[in-house]
Structure 1
């Protein structure tokens, strides 16, 4: 087992998601909340210029700039693309990183609660999911394209040997909520505790299985030929993240009074419902399948 020696906790990848920014500030003032016996942890403010402008990003979404081929492309040189190259030099380089685990802190305007997003598959991730779910039963475990090799992922957290996202909502953009900030802190603390126990081979007995949701695809709001929106997310779906949608269930209410129904052939589970940040692409929600993660037994138990 290869121990984890360096952990980076990243906030402000999106400049208007305030919980992660203020949480890493808290950790800087109270480093005892961050450190553990078996590793060194530190913080990184990913996109300070976007925060100063009170925007998600200046030129491009920073959390979509971390494919290896994009990092290696000098022609990709706008602010966020250049910032990604700097971050890769600090945390990575991706593929041979200095940092063993990246914890990237995010907010969503959607009613998702505290979500641990796993970007890769493997025993470490499944054990982490089991530990977080055991300590924080209200947490949701999400797998985001974990079939892809890390070098093809665009996400910042994939610069490390391991990488996860802590995603908590609902929280409006450029706003702080006490409950959301505290949930983000709690989940981050559980992750840090897990890593320390993992390193010292002192993990408790974990559940044999964990319920999780795996991303399938996203669906867009209905638009006309000119790209103008024809309707909105149906009230039956709004705020019902990770609740089942069955074939034939209404998912959009058109402005002319008609409804559009889900036309898939199996039950799905929506997330990022009506996420404000995705309106520039007319994305209405992500659809997921429910899966079971098998948690490997802890050595010695």
Structure 2
């Protein structure tokens, strides 16, 4: 089995409120700031409210989605009077946590998100990053009160546009279901446990522990499905079918009901067997996404440990 060494992860950023109405991360970061949690063992912690204006307004964003603003083009764009607040904030965060792609950037960025979909606890990444995958393995082993899954997002993108791409290593923690603007104790506690286990793993890694490799099951994004729409008005004409609602990561087979038209007719799935996730996610209506579809894959992860000078 392959073995890989990485430098110690001495600086970790925990970010909440990238979407201002996803409240678990907001509350966790605020509590970390209140308790002045800036160092845990060998790990320096930076707790950040990513989008303070959106958090104050309890909105996903004020002008544009902050979690799509971390491309090289937007991070280097000149600031003008018409620049959206979130682009300005992305550049501020790049200066604070990055610069993106540099040796000065945070060693690890963990971004906290909630979904209205019934997805349990998900670790989400745009890259096959061995550090992130080992943290996922650790969280999955330690947390037994909920389903813990790994989602590999669109790896064909020329670059990741999300906040977690600010660090040398990074991932998102996505937990649901939780309504926007609401804190649920079970979801909050689950996220806090995932954050605590992340920091625990980093400390173990820095102390010299070797983490054995092996196979990891993951869900790889394949495509997105929009709602049925009126060809002229583009208005939605059908909603998620009750038999699909809340069944994220189940096997979707040809002929299974996926939509129910407003007049009561069932729309059935046509395609190969895949796994739906982000089913009926509130924030994705504007993105014209009813749900994503993923294929289940197996990844081979090498053993890793800290690189000593």
Q: Which TM class, normalised by the smaller chain length?
A: over 0.9
Greater RCO structure (CA 8 Å; 6+ sep): 2
- 1:8 match: 13
User: How far apart are the structure 2 equivalents of 1:120 and 1:201?
Assistant: 25
Deviations 1:162-181 (A, max 9, x none): 11101111000000100000
User: How far apart are the structure 2 equivalents of 1:186 and 1:128?
Assistant: 13
- 2:275 match: 269
How do 1:1-301 residues align onto structure 2 when only pairs under 5 Å count?
Answer: 1-31=6-36, 35-74=39-78, 77-96=83-102, 97-137=104-144, 138-148=147-157, 152-203=159-210, 205=212, 208-225=214-231, 226-264=233-271, 266-298=272-304
Deviation at 1:148, TM superposition (A): 4.2
User: How far apart are the structure 1 equivalents of 2:185 and 2:216?
Assistant: 28
User: How far apart are the structure 2 equivalents of 1:49 and 1:249?
Assistant: 42
**What number of residue pairs does the alignment pair up?**
295
> Residues 283 and 147 of structure 1: is their aligned pair in 2 closer, same or farther, counting only changes over 3 Å?
closer
User: How far apart are the structure 1 equivalents of 2:43 and 2:76?
Assistant: 30
Deviations 1:139-164 (A, max 9, x none): 11111124545xx1110110111111
Q: TM-score, normalised by structure 2?
A: 0.90
User: How far apart are the structure 2 equivalents of 1:54 and 1:123?
Assistant: 35
Indicate if the aligned counterparts of 2:124 and 2:151 stay in contact, CA closer than 8 A. Answer: yes
Indicate if the aligned counterparts of 1:128 and 1:191 stay in contact, CA closer than 8 A. Answer: yes
Q: Where does structure 1 lack aligned partners over 5 or more consecutive residues?
A: none
Indicate if the aligned counterparts of 1:133 and 1:210 stay in contact, CA closer than 8 A. Answer: no
User: How far apart are the structure 1 equivalents of 2:196 and 2:304?
Assistant: 20
Q: TM-score, normalised by structure 1?
A: 0.92
Indicate if the aligned counterparts of 2:248 and 2:278 stay in contact, CA closer than 8 A. Answer: yes
Deviation at 1:278, TM superposition (A): 1.2
TM-align CA RMSD:
1.9
Indicate if the aligned counterparts of 2:132 and 2:170 stay in contact, CA closer than 8 A. Answer: no
Deviations 1:57-88 (A, max 9, x none): 11000001111112112267111111111111
User: How far apart are the structure 2 equivalents of 1:135 and 1:146?
Assistant: 28
